[in-house]
């Protein structure tokens, strides 16, 4: 039995080395590849300005976050939720890097990879679809996952969408292979039946004699146009 957590974050900017911070965390639990209904969702006050470019992506403003808790306030709850699970993340180095930066800033030495196994859906998608677009939106289109409500990025919404994409990518391929094998077996069986029913049996001497007599009569009646008369070839 396997416990997995689909995880996504939204941040004040892209570069953790410039002290950008997490402003939203969304986690959704899977158990044996089924949604359990359990989730962890939290907005955070970053105590710094959010880049305008980031706001255009997720729509989250400093005004909205000013009364939200600090990462320090929720760090243990988050750790308890993800501890021991396999994390499913799209572009894992980004989210993991920010999480570990936050734990370090809060004076907690936490290495996410030491407490959780990590599955990077971006790395997996690139292996399945080399040379193609493998953003979350592109994967939604490829696998028929509904993302029509995704006007802005949002950690919890994106986690749910990523969960559907992950299940399609890792389960759909298996189903496809099984279907392919079944199809091949059906084709092979049909071919074998066709070959068996199409065997050619050699005529005996009596059958050949009667065939020749009939062909000679047809040949005579048609002024030599009988195409089945083997004595002419």
Instruction: Find out whether 131 and 157 touch, Cβ atoms under 8 Å.
Output: no
- Residue 211 bears catalytic tag: no
Annotated catalytic residue: which of 20, 58, 90, 153?
153
Q: How far apart are CA 107 and CA 154, in angstroms?
A: 27
Hey, is 86 helix, strand or coil?
Answer: strand
Q: CB neighbours of 62 closer than 8 A, spacing ≥ 6?
A: 49, 50
Q: How far apart are CA 173 and CA 141, in angstroms?
A: 16
The helix or strand, by DSSP H or E, that contains position 123, with its residue range, turns out to be helix 121-128
17 secondary structure, DSSP code: G
Burial class (CB within 10 angstroms; exposed 0-12, middle 13-18, buried 19+) of 121? buried
Residues with catalytic function: 153
């Amino acid at each position: 039995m396997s416990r997995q957590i689909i995880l996504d974050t939204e941040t004040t900017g892209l570069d953790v080395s410039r002290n950008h911070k997490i402003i939203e965390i969304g986690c959704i639990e899977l158990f044996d590849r089924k949604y359990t209904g359990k989730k962890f969702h939290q907005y955070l006050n970053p105590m710094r300005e959010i880049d305008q470019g980031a706001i255009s992506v997720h729509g989250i403003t400093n005004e909205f976050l000013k009364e939200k808790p600090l990462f320090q306030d929720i760090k243990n709850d988050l750790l308890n939720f993800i501890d021991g699970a396999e994390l499913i993340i799209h572009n894992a180095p980004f989210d993991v890097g920010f999480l570990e930066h936050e734990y370090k800033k809060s004076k907690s030495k936490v290495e996410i990879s030491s407490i959780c196994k990590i599955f990077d859906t971006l790395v997996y998608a690139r292996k399945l679809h080399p040379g193609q677009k493998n953003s979350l939106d592109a994967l939604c289109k490829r696998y028929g996952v509904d993302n029509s409500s995704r006007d802005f990025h949002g950690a919890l919404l994106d986690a749910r969408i990523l969960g559907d994409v992950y299940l399609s990518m890792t389960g759909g391929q298996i189903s496809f292979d099984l279907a392919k094998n079944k199809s091949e077996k059906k084709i092979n069986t049909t071919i074998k039946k066709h070959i068996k029913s199409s065997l050619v049996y050699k005529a005996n001497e009596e059958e050949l004699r009667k065939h020749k007599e009939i062909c000679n009569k047809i040949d005579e009646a048609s002024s030599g146009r009988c195409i089945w008369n083997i004595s002419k070839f």
